[in-house]
Structure 1
């Protein structure tokens, strides 16, 4: 991409304060300024996402241990580590998936991306990509300190909302949920019973930029479906899934 006018237009669409200055730098200095701005913009959004709800969610989880609940310094230290971990997770997530910034399709198709690549000790590229590092971050956590539970959200929704819930959940991990996915869930659902242990519920994987496992079971004699969402996601995604679950329980969703 060498056209300063085109680059400037794309930077302006991303909200850059001096799009033409960035664009001229890319062309004249051969620097990937559009890609740099796109990544920095996404990371800045992650910082801004640390609102009251996000911090409260972490604090609620920190109260699970008596020592943290009774020792303000220990609790503060736990929350600080949790925030640091969520931040690292977010950076690795952005590096692995440039399109996680959810730009409109027409704009995204014009944007450069990036990869994190290995080098030799001499600094030469091996052309081996360090991909999806965020998925392995949990393996380095000690069980006592891991801030992210495998349970993302659980509860119940109206059975008539189940497909809409599945499609919205799939969109959260960029999984293309289609008729064949729905057929599998719809066929299995009548044979489930939410009075059975969750391990006996029907499980359907949604594998996109990360993996979520959807556990579902019908309320026999009722019009509800019990759901449990398991996986590894950021705090921001967890809050969105919890909100989605609440909406699907409270309201009847009509197809477009």
Structure 2
């Protein structure tokens, strides 16, 4: 199943941590650095995307791109069908609130 939407730039880390948890993937600082680096030069308007896979007990494939102003990140997430409800909840929370994890 594929979900496409957007998140606020400041919600990137919570977004990645939630996806990692849902896929049982051990997310490391090096993952965060690779994704932040990969986002440089992306553009949803120019159809330039960064792709990354979270391979845990379940695999989640990500495509990410910045908007022209850099305040939003557009995403396409390919995930197993049984994750539909948790993904919808995550999408609602991250598009409605500004979040930052505690202790990171």
SS at match of 1:191: coil
Structure 2 equivalent of residue 156 of structure 1:
6
Which structure has the bigger radius of gyration?
1
CA RMSD of aligned residues (A): 1.3
Which sections of structure 2, spanning at least 5 residues, go unmatched? none
Deviations 1:125-151 (A, max 9, x none): xxxxxxxxxxxxxxxxxxxxxxxxx31
Question: Is residue 249 of structure 1 aligned with residue 99 of structure 2?
Answer: no
Higher strand share: 2
Which sections of structure 1, spanning at least 5 residues, go unmatched? 1-149
Structure 1 counterpart of 2:28, from 178, 190, 203: 178
| Large movers: runs of 4+ above 4 Å | none
Q: TM-score if structure 2 supplies the norm length?
A: 0.90
Q: TM-score if structure 1 supplies the norm length?
A: 0.38
Structure 1 equivalent of residue 85 of structure 2:
239
Structure 1 equivalent of residue 41 of structure 2:
191
Mapping for residues 63-78 of structure 1, pairs under 5 Å: none
* 8 A contact 1:210–1:233 mirrored in 2: no
> 1:231: how far off?
2.9
Q: How many residues align?
A: 102
* 8 A contact 2:8–2:71 mirrored in 1: yes
